[in-house]
């Protein structure tokens, strides 16, 4: 299953690892931020409806 990477295994694997990690972090942060924004918006909308 695992391809034979030869003497460059470390470089290739870490390149894939670092990149996927960075992409995952970006995705995770974006999702967390969006969740928070949605929750805040819902909260603010309820607040205005109650007051207004």
- Do the beta carbons of residue 5 and residue 12 sit within 8 Å? yes
Residues that bind another protein (CB under 8 A): 1, 3-9, 11-12, 14-16, 18-19, 22-23, 25-27, 29-30, 33-34, 37-38, 40-41, 43-45, 47-48, 51-52
Q: In whole angstroms, how close is the CB of 45 to another protein at the nearest point?
A: 6
Distances (CA, A) of 1 to 4, 44, 51: 9, 52, 62
The nearest distance, CB 33 to another protein, in angstroms, is 5
């Amino acid at each position: 299953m695992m391809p034979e990477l030869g003497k460059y295994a470390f470089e290739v694997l870490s390149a894939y690892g670092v990149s996927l990690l960075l992409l995952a972090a970006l995705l995770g942060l974006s999702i967390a931020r969006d969740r928070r924004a949605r929750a805040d918006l819902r909260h603010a909308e309820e607040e205005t409806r109650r007051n207004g």
